[in-house]
Amino acid sequence: MDDLKKPNSLKNFPDEHGNFGHYGGRFVAETLMPLLIDVNKSWINAQKSKKFNHELNYFLDHFVGRPSPLYFAERMTEHFNGAKIYFKRDELNHTGAHKINNCIGQILLAKEMGKTRIIAETGAGQHGVATATVAARFGMNCIIYMGHTDIERQKSNVFRMELLGAKIIPVYSGTGTLKDAMNEALRDWVSNVDDTFYIIGTAAGPHPYPEMVREFQSIIGKETKEQILKMENKLPDTLIACVGGGSNAIGLFHPFLDDESVSLIGVEAGGKGLNTKFHASSLNGGRPGILHGNRTYLIQDDDGQISDAHSISAGLDYPGIGPEHSWLHDIGRVKYVSINDNEALKAFQMCSRIEGIIPALEPSHALAYLSKLAPTLNKEHIIIMNMCGRGDKDIFTVAEKIKEKI
């Protein structure tokens, strides 16, 4: 968190109001403003605090299991007979994905602020599980807002959260999914200002959350840079990551934003296809609007109502995207592509067989794009893909889909 800031650096964003160009900001009720200002103050102090950084590093090393390896995917490289492929192995983290990097950071901040009650929203339950995990570790009360439809669909994660001591509050408004849960969590926060901290699970929400989550996830890109320089003695040519709200992607990309030779590719979930209503591609299939306290690209209907997102992977099933990605898309620094359910499903099976790694369905989208790209490149070209989660949670979904096809 101590990168020297150069003038003209793409890393200098957001500005002090939380703006990334036209995106980001703080679109919240008046009653929420003082809370966000308070979080921002503590966040600014925490970044400068030796004690905070020491604790953060301690828990990342010993609780999460960092650094995660950078792994040469030798068999997949041979299979595609093109670019040299590496995986950043964030699926090896405690709880099986990158989300815990951010949850550890935010709960330490909550502790600094003297908060004792943690709230979070969750869709598929993965952020809920990561939040419940850190709340248990730090002995804090934990309330998870979850749409009733999602509770029905994600029973095993609900049970996991309960085992970890969290209380799940079902949300019945709207369609009973992620965006409704986010609204409820914000409402709770306003009425429980004194003791409560809201842990947001992706690089979205009102300022300073997009910046804060990015900084906590940037450990992924910082380690990657060090590791690849050691292994290959040069920077990679291409980085690929899947994009839901965008936290694992921005975490990998951010330390490379000023390295012009490195191309950056974010992979959105195309669901059943961009020409249907069933996708989660905010950039390729949406337009700017306001959700969850920030301005960003959203999937919405003709009247500007936010649509429910669809993807085979629950973690990409978010109707928006972090504001920094909207900006990076507009200025062209990152290229965003879309991969549909079936392509991701194929990549899931391919990676399991070829590399002995069962990937989560989310990074399977990145793998599917990699499968198209790698064969078109030469052997000197280095691609690093963020393996941001493991697939154990997805095996039943995949089993059902494979059966359907037969």
Ligand X SMILES: *Cc1c(COP(=O)(O)O)cnc(C)c1O
CB-wise, 84 or 142, nearer to ligand X? 142
CB-wise, 267 or 373, nearer to ligand X? 267
CB-wise, 247 or 300, nearer to ligand X? 247
Structure tokens at 43: 């966040």
**Separation between Cα atoms, residue 100 and residue 126, nearest integer Å:** 10
Least gap, CB of 242 to ligand X (angstroms): 5
Do 226 and 201 touch, CB atoms closer than 8 A? no
User: Nearest-5° angle of CA 289, CA 314, CA 343?
Assistant: 95
Least gap, CB of 152 to ligand X (angstroms): 19
- Nearest CA to 177 out of 119, 123, 127, 121 is that of 123
Least gap, CB of 110 to ligand X (angstroms): 20
CB-wise, 84 or 326, nearer to ligand X? 326
Least gap, CB of 379 to ligand X (angstroms): 29
DSSP β-ladder status, 23-24 and 19-20? antiparallel
DSSP β-ladder status, 70-72 and 141-147? unpaired
Least gap, CB of 131 to ligand X (angstroms): 12
CB-wise, 25 or 125, nearer to ligand X? 125
Structure tokens at 28: 């919240």
CB-wise, 360 or 374, nearer to ligand X? 360
The CB-nearest residue to ligand X is: 389
Least gap, CB of 325 to ligand X (angstroms): 9
- Nearest CA to 29 out of 290, 303, 213, 389 is that of 290
CB-wise, 84 or 292, nearer to ligand X? 292
Least gap, CB of 364 to ligand X (angstroms): 10
Structure tokens at 211: 């910046």
Do 146 and 227 touch, CB atoms closer than 8 A? no
Give one word for 165, left, alpha or beta, with left for phi > 0 and alpha for psi -120 to 50.
left
**Separation between Cα atoms, residue 314 and residue 151, nearest integer Å:** 12
Residues in contact with ligand X by the rule CB under 6 A: 97, 99, 126, 202, 242-249, 315-316, 360, 362, 388-389
Do 147 and 154 touch, CB atoms closer than 8 A? no
Do 122 and 142 touch, CB atoms closer than 8 A? no
CB-wise, 84 or 340, nearer to ligand X? 340
Tokens 């502790």 belong to: 111
Least gap, CB of 93 to ligand X (angstroms): 10
